[in-house]
Structure 1
């Protein structure tokens, strides 16, 4: 077995666990670390099959992550539920949520074709695709609902960026001191954003891009559609500029999605997600740089977040 890099090495107990879930005569011949995740180590495993061909699996390992058991159980349940729904999600192979067999809690799933695309080029094509995909996810009505959503950000945990508009941020923090508006529940991904969506983009025909997969279902929840829409909007704003965050909400409604009834209710969720991002700007910026956007320094992302929050508060005025 060869490793693409040192970080790709699979720990011995985990390697043995994975091997027990392979078909007879199969073996792991290569491992490769995949970048883009914040909470999990992600590795692509190349499997040699009995007929001489290969196939790929993906191993997600949560190392010293709080609530890893809950996240892996949610992901396993979601992948099982999504089978046959038309939502392009991976298939579950095995899960060890409490590290009974592995060194750390782990999940093994099928590998999907495609890649994450974080470039500005072709964004006008991808945003409507993202919106239509999220509408399809929200349309799911599982017999057993996932756990109710939670929001961890509080008025005291917000971290205004250096140079932020103090008045706008103070007003935004006041927004989330209020109770959330009433909502109709939907099946939520809870981390739907460009880093968790795979695309096939023909090099000569970028307008023919299509989504091949949606990954990372560890936060699957039941709650307002606005939560997912706001999260994707914020990520688009930080990746590509504030105008794209506004465009995503429009695209979601154009695709048939239904948001909160009033503008102030919608803005509540958008403000809440923007403030939540303030707590992890440095880590998010680092992840995006590693994924091919070296110009997205922490300072650049902070400036975009400040512009996003300020614009939201201007709309509330």
Structure 2
């Protein structure tokens, strides 16, 4: 992701690997080796793609006994926010250890590239993969909602930084052929100050691409979440913001109706949203408008994952329908 208003950045084993991008740079490889156990060494690397900003690699680590384990290496190349994001992720992965939220374990971090070619973070590898297919969505959505409720229930001794939204009325990109009146009304909505809120611990990029499910599931009728990844933008802010972000992704991946259904699932799972309809709509609209800025970037990983029908134009049309539906439904 390029900023916290974007819609998707799947990582880990989400998508087919780019083998030619797998090579670990020399200084980074030496840094990784210093953080391995005695007798271990890197015996294989696979580049993972799907993210917009970071390079992601799965490293296979061989031990003296002939066994192997996997680690994941995140590297930011020429990204202005790299130090802040990696510090956030390192702190969050440490915080989540021992909680009910399963996340990668921190192995090492070099946020300032003091030892690596570029800012990097090394973490444990979780089993499972993101699932973005339409099939089985009815059963996954309640699990996604319940997982987000668990994240919002965390009360760290030290709060992360306040949430950031970068989308402004001037940066919104109205899709070609969109309902101009509806979009103008939506843009006017985010000219207003953000509604008051009770702060919560936010993932800030919670969406199907960053939630791992057991794959293949032992029972297709009973999918199971195996972990949540990509914690670089952990923040403190309104629960509605995380809910809105996942709602936008579901609307673009599976159709606008699913964007509306996620908020219902979140409340059914025990989550609390803003008190008034207008306040809830503000956050939903704000995140939907943010998605307008990078339709190409967020839709490409979906196509690479097999959703070839999700062309930028198709995603734009779904976004237009979703925005107009938000305005018409939440009145």
TM-score normalised by the shorter chain: which range applies?
Answer: over 0.9
- Of the three residues 13, 28, 44, the one matched with 1:30 is 44
Match of 1:209 in 2: 223
- Of the three residues 287, 306, 312, the one matched with 2:320 is 306
User: Offset at 1:121?
Assistant: 0.3
- Of the three residues 245, 248, 268, the one matched with 1:234 is 248
* Aligned-partner SS, 1:277: helix
Match of 1:46 in 2: 60
* Aligned-partner SS, 1:235: helix
Match of 2:292 in 1: 278
Q: Which has the higher contact order (CA 8 A, sep 6+)?
A: 2
| 2:185 equivalent to 1:171 | yes
- Of the three residues 236, 240, 245, the one matched with 2:259 is 245
**Contact 2:285–2:326 (Cα < 8 Å) also in 1:** yes
Match of 1:198 in 2: 212
| Long gaps (5+) in structure 1 | none
**Contact 2:18–2:48 (Cα < 8 Å) also in 1:** no
**Contact 1:113–1:198 (Cα < 8 Å) also in 2:** yes
* Residues in 2 aligned to 1:147 and 1:40: alpha-carbon distance in whole angstroms: 21
Match of 1:103 in 2: 117
61-70 or 72-81: which moved more? 61-70
Match of 1:18 in 2: 32
**Contact 1:29–1:46 (Cα < 8 Å) also in 2:** yes
User: Offset at 1:65?
Assistant: 1.3
Match of 2:202 in 1: 188
- Of the three residues 139, 145, 157, the one matched with 2:171 is 157
* Residues in 1 aligned to 2:48 and 2:140: alpha-carbon distance in whole angstroms: 22
| 2:133 equivalent to 1:119 | yes
| Long gaps (5+) in structure 2 | 1-16
* Residues in 1 aligned to 2:55 and 2:211: alpha-carbon distance in whole angstroms: 17
**Please, what TM-score do these two structures have when normalized by structure 1?**
0.97
User: Offset at 1:293?
Assistant: 1.2
* Aligned-partner SS, 1:208: coil
**Contact 1:33–1:44 (Cα < 8 Å) also in 2:** yes
**Contact 1:4–1:31 (Cα < 8 Å) also in 2:** no
User: Offset at 1:206?
Assistant: 1.2
Match of 2:11 in 1: none
Match of 1:266 in 2: 280
* Residues in 2 aligned to 1:224 and 1:46: alpha-carbon distance in whole angstroms: 39
Q: How many residues align?
A: 315
* Residues in 2 aligned to 1:250 and 1:30: alpha-carbon distance in whole angstroms: 44
* Residues in 2 aligned to 1:252 and 1:229: alpha-carbon distance in whole angstroms: 8
Match of 1:8 in 2: 22
User: Offset at 1:35?
Assistant: 1.7
**Contact 2:18–2:49 (Cα < 8 Å) also in 1:** no
User: Offset at 1:315?
Assistant: 2.7
Match of 1:130 in 2: 144
* Residues in 1 aligned to 2:81 and 2:323: alpha-carbon distance in whole angstroms: 29
**Contact 1:137–1:187 (Cα < 8 Å) also in 2:** yes
* Residues in 1 aligned to 2:292 and 2:115: alpha-carbon distance in whole angstroms: 37
* Aligned-partner SS, 1:142: coil
